[in-house]
Structures are given as C-alpha cells and as structure tokens.
Chain A
C-alpha cells in the first residue's frame, strides 16, 4: 500500500492523529492539491455509501474528524492563488437549534471541495447570518434546522434579506430533518438538499 492509499485508509477508519501525522510526513513530497483531490474523492465515495445505507453517521463523523485533521495540515501548503479563487459559503444552524452534526458534515464536504466555509455554529440569529455574509462577501447562505419548532427561523432570515434588499446577492439553501423541497419553495429559498453530498451538488448547480 502506498502512502496515499494508507492516508485514505486512515481517514476512512477515523484515525485522526495517525492520519494527520502521515499527512505531515508526505506533504513535502506531494502536490497538496492532489492530496485534497484524493480525499475529496474518498468523501464522495463515502457519501454514496451513506446514501445507500452501507455506513451511518458514526462512521461519517469519525471520518470527517480525520479528514479535517489532514486538511489542517495540508491547507497551508496550498498555493495562495488556489485559495483566493474560493467561493465563500456561510453556514449555520438557525436560532434556537443546536443540532450541528449534519450542518458540520455539509461544511466539511464543501471545504474538501474547495469552498471557503464560514461556519457560524449553532443557534445563529438572522442578523448574524446576514452580517457575516455581507462582511465576508459570501455568495451562499446555508441554514440547517432539525426541529419543527425552529424551521420558521429559516424564513425569518430570507425575509430579512428581502427587507434589506440584498436577497439577490445570495444563493440561500436550507436543510434539516423536517425540511423539504416544498418548504424551501414556500419560504423563498433557492434550494433544499437532503444530505451533505446533495448539498454540495446543489451549491455547484446554483452558482
């Protein structure tokens, strides 16, 4: 098994520290964007397995941790121009909602695919979403809501964008267990995705 295969294996097994250490040792001799490409492909394959019900959230979570650890090592080695081209995506779980697992995986998949992801965390107010998106010149705002009691907050953010007359500047995507295509349409979002991998495809289509 070569070093790249070994790295992929460690990421799949969620061996965070070992994966980071191996990345550290191979990054001087490898093109860093090639390492990221290979790991992105791995995540895509894992995304398919997740959709097919072959792996579940626990597996995806440990993999994501390992992938992030590798990204932290590799990213500083990327050429500066590669980083500047990035599209900025602002992500968060809406006000009153602390469910972050799905949203975090969306962030990781987008990051692995070259997006500049600004994750505002959980229970993010409409003002925080909008101020951060404006400040960072984001093109996409992604909102997660896992509860019927908080899904209404997604609409509040979109309404606030409309009120500020800046709705056209952003592609707004929504997700979460109670969310559907129909809901996205009703509140005036640009799109809905069922899981992190579909969210990535959605962002690509929207831009």
Chain B
C-alpha cells in the first residue's frame, strides 16, 4: 500500500493509472458548499471571495480531494451574448439566447476570457483556489463541451432540430464554440487549473443517438480534449444520463477520466472501457438527499467495488449535488473512500 499521499498526488495517481493510497473523492459541489456557509447562488457567482471561501472551508471540514471552480454556469454563453437571470435561490436561467438567426452566428466574436462577462472573475477564482490549495490539492475547473455551449447560445430544442433540418448551420456554430472553449480552457489552465471538467448533458443517450454524438459532438469535443491534454492539464468528460452505448467512443477521446451518472452501472462501464481510463461516479444526487448515512455509505462502497478494485477510480456523485444534501451523507462518502483498502 502507498502511504500518505496528498489529495493532489492521490487524484493524479488515479488519472495516470497508478495505485493511490486510498480512493479519492471529488464532489460535484457548487451550491451545496455555498449553502453550508449560508450563501445563495447569487452570492457565489458575483463574489469570488465568497465562492472561494465556501470551497475551501468545506474541503477542510469534510476532507475530500479537490477544490472546484464550478462557478461558471453558462458563463461562456453569457460572454458570447446570451442573457442570464438568477431565478429562485439556486437557479440561473437563460433570459435571452444570443443566437436567434444564422446571421447572429456570423456576428459572434471569439471570446476574450480576460474581458468578457464573468470570465475574468472565474479566472480570479481559479487563481485564489490554486494559491490556497498549493501543491496539496488539485483545482478542477469547468468548461462546457462545444455542443453544450451551442445549445446555450441557441436553445437546446433548436440545436437538436438543426441536427436533422439544418446541419450546415449547426456545424458553423460548433466551429465557433469549439474555438471559444479552447481559448477559455487555455485561460483557466494558465490561471492554475489542474483538471478541466468538460460537461455535456446533450450527448446523453437519453437525448441523441450514438450517430448524432459521433457527428455533432465527438469531433469538436475531441479537439477541445486534445488541446487540454497538450496544455498539460487533465481532462474529465461528464455526460449525463444513460451513456452505456457510447462509453467506448468517450474513452477514445483520450480523456483522463469519464464521469458517469447512476443510470450507467459502474461495473458494466468498467467492462466496456477496461483499465484504459479512470472512472468517476456515481452516487445518485437524489439518493444523497433522500437516503440516510448508512445507505449512502453502502452505495459508495458498491461504487468502489464495481469500478475501483484496481485504482483508476474517483468516488463522486453522478451529477451536481443538490444544496439540500445532508452533511452526514457527504461524510459517509468520504468515510467509505477512506475505509476501502487497496
């Protein structure tokens, strides 16, 4: 057994295919940590210090393994002109899409992460998290996959219909969002992000076919992932829902880890991807709210047994954690990770 790794060493070990001292835990937490400190969504997306403080103090209290900059909800689309509105305590919604016609696509300008929208604040958050985490804790940042970003610029329904009715128009938009996401990812890596979490809820098997994934998502996400890898950062792809039929294709992107939701069974995911890629998941966010500590610990142990027998596994929730998750259920996940022996 490997003794006493730092969180950084532990996470890097599983991403690089080495055995860690114990199972690392990365929580997909933004709202939950804010709520622990008495903040709401509005506080943390407008105030870098509050965001950073919520991340850091919960990390110290609960002992999981990463500081996350997940503050950039739709920030890329916002920087490109989509207008957002905070609606209810934990929800930021689109008020007006930037792209209403194909003319608007031609009018889009490549984003400048140092100037546009909330992006400079997001970079500032990464710098602060990195200085707090230092050598010991990895900083994970968040970027939308090009297809997801296109949906946030034009509306998901329209983008899905374009796949069948106006693919040429969609390709043009995707070329643009790919460039923007590469530039944005680069700025976050320069600011200190160790891991880039690439999120794409649209590429789920609950939404599009494998063929549509291969046509409208794969080539663009592949460019982004290549870029992240070449820049020396780690990449994690997160796709929501049932993705069983395309996990092999996800793995062939060259990402360091696949974050999967509870709709996919981790042991069958492991069967598909073998030991070629780290898996991350997949305690249900709904169970995290409604089940008790003992049940969550059992769920966590099952995840580890299904996918983490030989390392290459990060214990996490299947998707973003609800702010209503009880504290003890977070403790249960960390306990399960600590108690599992390699």
Q: Which residues of A contact B (CB under 8 A)?
A: 14, 53, 55-59, 61-62, 65, 95-101, 104, 122-123, 147-153, 177-180, 182-183, 186
Which single member of B93, B164, B207, B289 contacts A98 (CB below 8 Å)? B93
Q: Of the 9-residue stretches B101-109, B130-138, B153-161, which lies at the interface with chain A? A: B153-161
A selection of 26 A-B contacts at a CB cut-off of 8 Å is A14-B164, A14-B165, A53-B209, A57-B160, A58-B160, A58-B208, A95-B91, A96-B93, A97-B91, A98-B93, A98-B94, A101-B160, A104-B157, A147-B320, A148-B320, A148-B321, A149-B320, A150-B88, A151-B286, A153-B88, A177-B206, A178-B319, A182-B286, A182-B290, A183-B286, A186-B290
Q: How far does the alpha carbon of A162 sit from the alpha carbon of B282 in the complex, in Å?
A: 34
Given contacts A148-B320, A148-B322, A151-B322, contact A58 B91 (CB under 8 A): no
Interface residues on B, range: 20 to 34
Q: Say whether B157 contacts A100, CB under 8 Å.
A: yes
Which single member of B87, B88, B165, B208 contacts A62 (CB below 8 Å)? B165
Given contacts A56-B209, A178-B319, A179-B286, contact A96 B163 (CB under 8 A): no
CB-based nearest B residue for A65 = B161
The interface residues of chain B lying within 8 Å CB-to-CB of A123 are: 87-88, 91, 93
B240 at the interface (CB under 8 A from A): yes
CB-based nearest A residue for B205 = A53
Within B243-281, the residues touching A (CB, 8 Å) are: 245
CB-based nearest A residue for B285 = A148
Q: Which residues of B contact A (CB under 8 A)?
A: 31, 87-91, 93-94, 156-157, 160-161, 163-165, 205-209, 212, 240-241, 245, 285-286, 289-290, 319-324
Main SS class of interface, A: loop
CB-based nearest B residue for A185 = B290
Given contacts A61-B160, A177-B206, A183-B290, contact A149 B90 (CB under 8 A): yes
The interface residues of chain B lying within 8 Å CB-to-CB of A104 are: 157
Q: Say whether B164 contacts A95, CB under 8 Å.
A: no
Q: Say whether A96 contacts B161, CB under 8 Å.
A: no
Q: Say whether A58 contacts B90, CB under 8 Å.
A: no
Q: How far does the alpha carbon of A41 sit from the alpha carbon of B330 in the complex, in Å?
A: 47
CB-based nearest A residue for B287 = A182
Q: How far does the alpha carbon of A179 sit from the alpha carbon of B285 in the complex, in Å?
A: 10
The interface residues of chain A lying within 8 Å CB-to-CB of B94 are: 98
